[in-house]
Chain A
Amino acid sequence: MRLPPAERTRSALKPTKKALWCLRLGTLAAAFLLIGIGLARGEHLGVLQKAVRICLECIGIG
């Protein structure tokens, strides 16, 4: 049976199971790496500093 063009493209682009797991685990590792670098640079303190003050722009005043 011939698939419609959109479905054919999707099937062609669908990663194999191995590629899917590589992508997932690679992204997960990259996420943890970025968080680790951010923590080491103290970026979470910058987030905290901003979040504990009322952000006047965010509420439409600033």
Chain B
Amino acid sequence: MPGMHRNRIISRQRVIQLVSAALCNGYAVGFQKGRIFTGGSKAVCVPVLNCYSCPGALGACPIGALQTALGTKRHFPFYVLGTLMLFGVLLGRAVCGLLCPFGLVQDLLYKLPVPKPRVPRRLDRPARYFKYVVLAVLVVLLPALAVTEAGIASPYFCQYLCPAGTLGGGIPLLLADPMLRQVAGALFRWKVVILVVILAVSAGICRPFCKYLCPLGAFYSVFNRFSFYQMDLDKRKCVDCKQCEKTCPMNVQVTQDINSLECIRCGACKTVCPTGAISSAFK
């Protein structure tokens, strides 16, 4: 029945997000001991932004691995790029909406009962392109070109911007390890400020990091229009009530461009559609 999922205590999206977060960070002992997992599964990149220095992480962060390959090994990153393309062509940005643990954190914060200002369209639209700049400059160009005297480059995105690394890796490790606390300085304080700002903004604006800053979202968006997993709008059933567009956390114009580069396939539009005109499937 259309719209029947509205009264569920916990949505299907939330269940998938929680399972994904638990699978990506299943090494619970790491949080207790302040150590990271060192097993063979860390040779595999997870599809989401999940720092490999998180004590619970069982896989490698694709953005961190991409920067390392470009900055240290100085070669074309076949393995990481192939992995990202695989997830991209299968799921598109469903990775962001359904699998990403940092997306889950932002979604939960958006549930807080605080004012929800709407970002003016003239600001919102150009700001959406900023994530592509982050991908090009911080993840690809700087690690590939700005090499130190030692012949290696820093993972610039991880070092200066990534809030997932601070939340999942930095804070738990510093809490558990007094030695690390002693060496944490200005850079750590900078990263905590970035994290706090993003988390604070997430309470009022839905998924600001995904909308404006995430390089992984920028990469996956390229695949959104032709990935195997697609959203579909049956125009014969649509009554043009625009409930879907009012509900969409990414402000997608669902009735005009349902597989927009910004659609994270969270299924919010599908849930509120009174006629069941919206569906999503592998096709």
With A50-B68, A60-B192 given, is the CB distance from A55 to B52 under 8 Å?
yes
With A10-B257, A20-B226, A41-B78 given, is the CB distance from A46 to B42 under 8 Å?
no
A53 to B77, CA, bound (A): 20
A29 to B197, CA, bound (A): 41
Q: In the assembled complex, which residues on chain A have CB atoms less than 8 Å from the CB atom of B38?
A: 52
With A58-B162, A61-B187 given, is the CB distance from A51 to B78 under 8 Å?
no
Instruction: Identify which of residues 71-87 in chain B touch chain A, using a CB-to-CB cut-off of 8 Å.
Output: 72-73, 75, 77-83, 85-86
Minimum C-beta distance from B211 to chain A (A): 20
With A35-B82, A58-B53 given, is the CB distance from A27 to B192 under 8 Å?
no
Q: In the assembled complex, which residues on chain A have CB atoms less than 8 Å from the CB atom of B78?
A: 34-35, 37-38, 41, 43
Q: How many residues in A have their beta carbons less than 8 Å from beta carbons of B?
A: 38
Q: In the assembled complex, which residues on chain B have CB atoms less than 8 Å from the CB atom of A41?
A: 75, 78-79
Contact (Cβ within 8 A) A58 B82: no
Minimum C-beta distance from B268 to chain A (A): 22
Give the B-binding residues of A (Cβ under 8 A).
6-7, 10, 15, 20, 23-24, 27-28, 30-39, 41, 43-48, 50-55, 57-62
Q: In the assembled complex, which residues on chain A have CB atoms less than 8 Å from the CB atom of B169?
A: 54-55, 58-59
Q: In the assembled complex, which residues on chain B have CB atoms less than 8 Å from the CB atom of A34?
A: 78-79, 81-82, 85
Contact (Cβ within 8 A) B155 A44: no
Q: Which single residue of chain A is at the shortest CB-CB distance from B185?
A: A61
Contact (Cβ within 8 A) B79 A59: no
Contact (Cβ within 8 A) B42 A43: no
B170 interfacial contact with A, CB 8 Å: yes
With A28-B89, A60-B192 given, is the CB distance from A55 to B80 under 8 Å?
no
Contact among A30, A35, A57 with B155 in the assembled complex (CB-CB below 8 Å): A57
A10 to B158, CA, bound (A): 35
Minimum C-beta distance from B234 to chain A (A): 16
Could you list some 22 contacts between A and B, CB below 8 A? Answer: A23-B226, A31-B88, A35-B79, A35-B82, A35-B83, A38-B77, A38-B79, A43-B80, A47-B44, A47-B65, A48-B43, A50-B64, A50-B65, A51-B42, A51-B43, A51-B65, A55-B158, A58-B165, A60-B159, A60-B165, A61-B188, A62-B159
Q: How many residues in B have their beta carbons less than 8 Å from beta carbons of A?
A: 60
Contact among A30, A35, A38, A59 with B166 in the assembled complex (CB-CB below 8 Å): A59
Contact (Cβ within 8 A) A60 B188: yes
Minimum C-beta distance from B137 to chain A (A): 17
Minimum C-beta distance from B64 to chain A (A): 6
B40 interfacial contact with A, CB 8 Å: yes
Contact (Cβ within 8 A) B256 A57: no
Q: In the assembled complex, which residues on chain A have CB atoms less than 8 Å from the CB atom of B36?
A: 52-54
Minimum C-beta distance from B195 to chain A (A): 9
Contact (Cβ within 8 A) B64 A30: no
Fill in one digit per residue for B169-205: 1 if any A CB lies within 8 Å of its CB, else 0.
1100110000010011101101110000000000000
Contact (Cβ within 8 A) A58 B45: no
Q: In the assembled complex, which residues on chain A have CB atoms less than 8 Å from the CB atom of B69?
A: 43, 46-47
Contact (Cβ within 8 A) B64 A24: no
